[in-house]
Structure 1
Amino acid sequence: MLTPPIPVFDGHNDVLLRLRRSGGEDPAGRFLDGEEAGHIDLPRARTGGLAGGLCAIYVPSPGTAKDANGDFPTPDQADALNETLAMARLLFDIEARSQGAVTVCRSAADIRRSMEIGSFAAVFHIEGAEAIAADLDALYVLHQAGLRTLGPVWSRPNVFAYGVPFRYPSSPDIGPGLTEAGRDLIRACNELKIMIDLSHMNEAGFWEIARISDAPLVASHSNVHALCQHSRNLTDRQLDAIRDTGGLVGINFGVLFLRDDGIKDANTSLDLLVRHAAYVADRIGIDHVALGSDFDGTTIPADMKDVTGLPRLLDALRRHGFGDQELKKIAHENWISVLERSWGE
């Protein structure tokens, strides 16, 4: 028998992109009313106990072909900005039409208040800063619009850094680190109190950010390289650095980042997901592990199916030996804590 859902605040979902690209009418209405497609909508979030999370705005690469280096092509800045604004408008449209059932949160207090009243606590997040030019003008405007967390790269190069390509088996030590514009971006994010997301950052970029940034190091949806040798996963040394800054790792539900064979197979046990969470907790402490599902952005274990399967994951964590207080930390308390410290409010 499943335990009652503990509220979950999740570090990463791609529902805005799914709604944007699905081609159906009234994407905001489909999120609010529910549908069969994808992993998340508001009714299923309520069923699964998903109380909120970082709602990513990600602009896909143009076309499907990789370049000569095996990298995904990078969108033009103007095109990326147009797509980013369209998805941001969709997020705000969802909030406006929800009659209080969805709140775009700009502070930790907003998140706590939303969770208390049962309003879905959405945080405006950008994954891959292609919409922002080196002059950073768009960063300041987007921050005024509600942007509170940002990943400088997805897994492709841009004006700021070289995103880690998808490779297995591979170290994350692929390619150069930040550009000068990238270093300016990190300093500006610190100034604006925008949380910097290290998922999709290669190792050189990770260590440059660790040297420059005065904020906790956070990887919103990344796993353990010692357990799965995917380039997207974190080495033990990176995990230790995250701990030393009071940061956090959001465990990614994607099977590609869980399995030790690199196979994209939905018939993957939730026990593997638990194994990654337990490794992080054992190595760097329970206060530094959370959830970063990647719902609507990756293939997750079939046993979970969608967001309604979150109670199954919490029960699997409980069976492993995590107690109620530890589960609350993993489910939402650690995320709210690191965001409060990153945002300074």
Structure 2
Amino acid sequence: MITTEIPIVFDGHNDVLLKLYQAGGVSAAESFLSGRDGAIDCLSAKAGGFGGGFFAVYVPSPQDLEFKFDQMTQAAYDLPLPDPIDWQDAFPVVMAQAAILFDLEKRGALTICRSVADIRAALAQGRMAAIFHIEGAEGIDADLNALELLYRAGLRSLGPVWSRPTIFGHGVPFRFPSTADTGPGLTEHGINLVKRCNELGIMIDLSHLNEAGFWDVARLSSAPLVATHSNAHAICPHSRNLTDKQLAAIRESDGMVGLNFAVAFLRDDGRMISDVPLTQLLRHLDHLIDHLGEDRVGLGSDYDGAVVPSDLTTCGGLPKLRQAMAGHGYGEALITKLCHENWLRVLEKTWGG
């Protein structure tokens, strides 16, 4: 159970399911309860007041991670995008990671939440609240049959792309310095996906989507615009970050941005080096609050999927961030909004309850 100081953190993005999948799948799930070499598990959550969040299902590409990490420590970089992944290859991986999430619920480690009422109930009971999220829709077919199946299994949030292209649209490369204006927008399949997600009440995640795709979703979607784990381009001019014009559109839609802890998207120089002070996160938070308002900003850590500041290597370190917020002059009400209430607000508006 999570028994730590309020406000607890409900987080916009983590990749712990991928890490457990790579460690052996369902057989590795026990480490989530007993302690694992990673950013999130039950022990760290209890220590840090981590109440849950968006648990991403992500289909990895074969890639040289050592080369990627080395390149992203340079002053400038432009990494080639991995090749697309066919639906037939991606779908079994999606099922395997979803099975890990269901197994964690069976073990009592978390509750898969399909409504804001579910989230509030789980948090009140001290149980980790998990949203079944997909990062990159490679596992969804053009006819959207898999989307219907996954929705009934509990899927409530989806990013049409990771950085590589899908049949639905195009993501941004890992490029610095750069804007997100890197290619064409949504395909016809992508347009259909957005419309069906709106009908089902599945939240659409704009993180990783390129700028043309962002504006296509803004034009098409009837739901608030949400980027679960993105930062301010005005501070860090990385292709993954959001311009002030994009922030204005998110604000107009009454949407939401979750602050990404990934150091390459935090640092002014875009380098993937972990010696990032918490004041740098506060700079991004200040900018996001200035452009979005206090009700539309939260946290989207990217835990277990990114290099993060050395003070925040696990969710057990989250009290340091809350203390930094208070020391920066954020009041208790604002800290509570940033930690979880803003996510619940935008989900209630998107899901309808």
TM-score with structure 1 length normalisation?
A: 0.95
SS of structure 2 residue aligned to 1:281: helix
2: CA distance, partners of 1:243 / 1:275: 19
* Residue 81 of structure 1: aligned partner: 91
Given that residues 26 and 100 in structure 2 are in contact (C-alpha distance below 8 angstroms), is that contact kept between their aligned partners in structure 1?
Answer: no
2: CA distance, partners of 1:25 / 1:288: 35
Q: List per-residue Cα deviations over 1:63-105 (Å, max 9, x = no partner).
A: 4499x9922112221121100000001000010011xx41000
Displacement of 1:48: 0.5
* Residue 195 of structure 2: aligned partner: 187
1: CA distance, partners of 2:63 / 2:343: 35
List, as ranges, runs of 4+ consecutive aligned residues in structure 1 with deviation greater than 2 Å: 22-26, 62-66
Identity rate of aligned residues, in percent? 55
* Residue 91 of structure 1: aligned partner: 101
Measured at CA, do residues 323 and 144 of structure 1 come closer, stay the same or move farther in structure 2, by a change above 3 Å?
Answer: same
1: CA distance, partners of 2:294 / 2:79: 39
Measured at CA, do residues 92 and 23 of structure 1 come closer, stay the same or move farther in structure 2, by a change above 3 Å?
Answer: closer
Displacement of 1:305: 2.1
1: CA distance, partners of 2:335 / 2:164: 34
- Counterpart residue identity of residue 185, structure 1: L
Q: List per-residue Cα deviations over 1:5-62 (Å, max 9, x = no partner).
A: 5211000000000111124882211111212x11001111111001110000000113
1: CA distance, partners of 2:182 / 2:55: 27
Q: Which one of 285, 306, 315 corresponds to residue 277 of structure 1?
A: 285
Listed as ranges, the matches of 1:1-345 within 5 Å are: 4-23=5-24, 26-35=27-36, 37-64=37-64, 70-98=80-108, 101-345=109-353
Displacement of 1:224: 0.2
2: CA distance, partners of 1:14 / 1:259: 21
Given that residues 198 and 222 in structure 2 are in contact (C-alpha distance below 8 angstroms), is that contact kept between their aligned partners in structure 1?
Answer: yes
SS of structure 1 residue aligned to 2:12: strand
SS of structure 2 residue aligned to 1:158: coil
The number of aligned residues is 339
1: CA distance, partners of 2:131 / 2:34: 20
Measured at CA, do residues 221 and 25 of structure 1 come closer, stay the same or move farther in structure 2, by a change above 3 Å?
Answer: closer
- Counterpart residue identity of residue 163, structure 1: G
2: CA distance, partners of 1:164 / 1:305: 26
2: CA distance, partners of 1:240 / 1:25: 42
Displacement of 1:331: 0.2
- Counterpart residue identity of residue 46, structure 2: R
- Between 175-184 and 273-282, report the one with greater CA deviation: 273-282
* Residue 73 of structure 2: aligned partner: none
Q: List per-residue Cα deviations over 1:292-331 (Å, max 9, x = no partner).
A: 0000000000012211110101111111111000000000
Given that residues 57 and 88 in structure 1 are in contact (C-alpha distance below 8 angstroms), is that contact kept between their aligned partners in structure 2?
Answer: yes
Displacement of 1:4: 3.7
Q: List per-residue Cα deviations over 1:124-144 (Å, max 9, x = no partner).
A: 000000000111100000000
Q: Name the Cα RMSD after superposition.
A: 1.6
Given that residues 105 and 111 in structure 2 are in contact (C-alpha distance below 8 angstroms), is that contact kept between their aligned partners in structure 1?
Answer: yes
SS of structure 2 residue aligned to 1:191: helix
Q: List per-residue Cα deviations over 1:196-233 (Å, max 9, x = no partner).
A: 00000100000000000000000000000000000000
Given that residues 247 and 288 in structure 1 are in contact (C-alpha distance below 8 angstroms), is that contact kept between their aligned partners in structure 2?
Answer: yes
- Counterpart residue identity of residue 247, structure 1: G
SS of structure 1 residue aligned to 2:158: strand
1: CA distance, partners of 2:231 / 2:243: 9
Unaligned runs of 5+ in 2: 69-77
SS of structure 1 residue aligned to 2:267: coil
2: CA distance, partners of 1:75 / 1:103: 30
2: CA distance, partners of 1:4 / 1:333: 15
- Counterpart residue identity of residue 8, structure 1: V
